[in-house]
Amino acid sequence: MTVAAPAMTSRGPERSRRRIKIPNERLFYAVLGFVGLLVIWELASNFDLDPETPGTQGLVKRILMSAPTLIWNAGIEDFSSGVIWPHIAISLQEWFYGFIISCFLGITLGLSLGWFRRFRLATQPLVSALYSTPTIALFPLIVLIAGIGLESKVILVVLASIFAVIINTMVGVQSVSWKHLEIASSFGASQTQIVRSVVLPTTIPFILTGVRLAAGRSLVGVVVAEFQAANQGVGFYIALNGQTLNTARVFIGLLLLGGFGIFVGELVRLVENRFDAWRPSIHR
C-alpha cells in the first residue's frame, strides 16, 4: 500500500463532541438574554451626557426609566419593610377568585353552548355583544351594583376572562368528529361514555387554551380594576408610584405581574403537555 489516501475530514459525532454541552439550552439562553438586557439598561442609565443634572439627560433617563440597581434597592426596601405584601395578597385574591369562577362557569357554559344547538342560537347575540364590549366600559355599572370592594373587582376579572374559556370550549365541542360519535354509538356507548370517551378528549386541548388565555386576561382585569377604584393591590401600587414619579417601584409592580403571568402560563402548559401525549409532537 504505497498510494497515499486522500485527506479526509471527519464528519458526524466526532465534530459535535468538541462543542460545550449546555444542559438546559432553553433556560440558559433565556437567562442570558435577560441578564444582557439588565446590564445594557444599567450601563445606559449611568451614562450621563450632562454631569450637572444626573439622571435627566442620559441615553436612558434614570428619572423616567429607573435602573436595575435602583429597582433592586427599592424592592429590598419594600419587601423587608413589608409594605408590599398586602398589595400582593389582595391582587392574588382578586385574580384567584375571578380566574376560578371564569374557568368553572366558562367551561360549563361553553360545553352547553357547544352541545345544545338551540341554547347556542338563543344566546349567541348576547354572548357576542358582551364579548365585543370593552370590559372596562362596564366597570362604572359594576361599581354601582357591587360597590368598590373585592366583589366588583372579581366581577370585572370574570368578565375580562370568561369569554376566552366559553368560546374556546364551545369551538372544542363543535369540533367533535361525527365519525367518532358514530363509532362510539356503534359499540353501544352510553351518553356518559360518549362524553367521557369522545367529547372530553376532543375538547380538553381547546379548554386548556381557553384557560391559558383566561389566566392572562384575569391579570389584566385585576390591574384595570385596581387602576379605577382601589386603595390596595399591585395595580394600585403601580398607579400610585407612577403618579409620584417613583419609577423604580412602578417597575417592581411590572416585574411582579410579568413574573406571575409567566409562572401561571407555564403551569397551564405543564397540564397541557400531560394531555397531549396522544398527539404527534410538533414543538417539543
- Asked if 189 is part of the footprint of another protein (rule: CB under 8 A), the reply reads yes
- Residue 122 CB, shortest distance to another protein, in Å, is 22
Comparing CB distances to another protein, the nearer of 187 and 270 is 187
87 and 234 in contact (C-beta within 8 Å)? Answer: yes
d(CA 216, CA 218): 5
d(CA 207, CA 216): 15
The C-alpha cell of 191 is what? 351518553
- Residue 114 CB, shortest distance to another protein, in Å, is 18
Among 279, 282, 283, 284, binds another protein (CB under 8 A): 279
Instruction: Give SS3 for 57.
Output: coil
Selected range binding another protein among 53-61, 72-80, 95-103, 198-206, rule: CB under 8 A = 198-206
Among 187, 243, 282, 283, binds another protein (CB under 8 A): 187
The C-alpha cell of 107 is what? 367551561
Closest CA to 200 of 111, 80, 83, 88: 111
- Residue 110 CB, shortest distance to another protein, in Å, is 19
Q: Kind and range of the H or E element at 210?
A: helix 200-228
| Range 160-179, binding another protein (CB under 8 A) | 179
Instruction: Give SS3 for 209.
Output: helix
Question: Using the 8-state DSSP alphabet, how is residue 61 labeled?
Answer: -
C-alpha distances (whole Å) from 98 to each of 148, 162, 214, 221 are 15, 9, 10, 9
The C-alpha cell of 269 is what? 402548559
- Asked if 186 is part of the footprint of another protein (rule: CB under 8 A), the reply reads yes
Comparing CB distances to another protein, the nearer of 183 and 255 is 183
Among 64, 175, 182, 267, binds another protein (CB under 8 A): 182
Among 13, 82, 134, 280, binds another protein (CB under 8 A): 280
Among 9, 188, 245, 274, binds another protein (CB under 8 A): 188
Q: Where are the alpha helices (DSSP H) in 116-196?
A: 117-132, 139-146, 150-174, 178-186, 191-194
Selected range binding another protein among 41-49, 109-117, 218-226, 276-284, rule: CB under 8 A = 276-284
Comparing CB distances to another protein, the nearer of 190 and 244 is 190
- Asked if 11 is part of the footprint of another protein (rule: CB under 8 A), the reply reads no
Q: Interface with another protein by CB under 8 A: which residues?
A: 179-180, 182-190, 193, 197-198, 201-202, 277-280
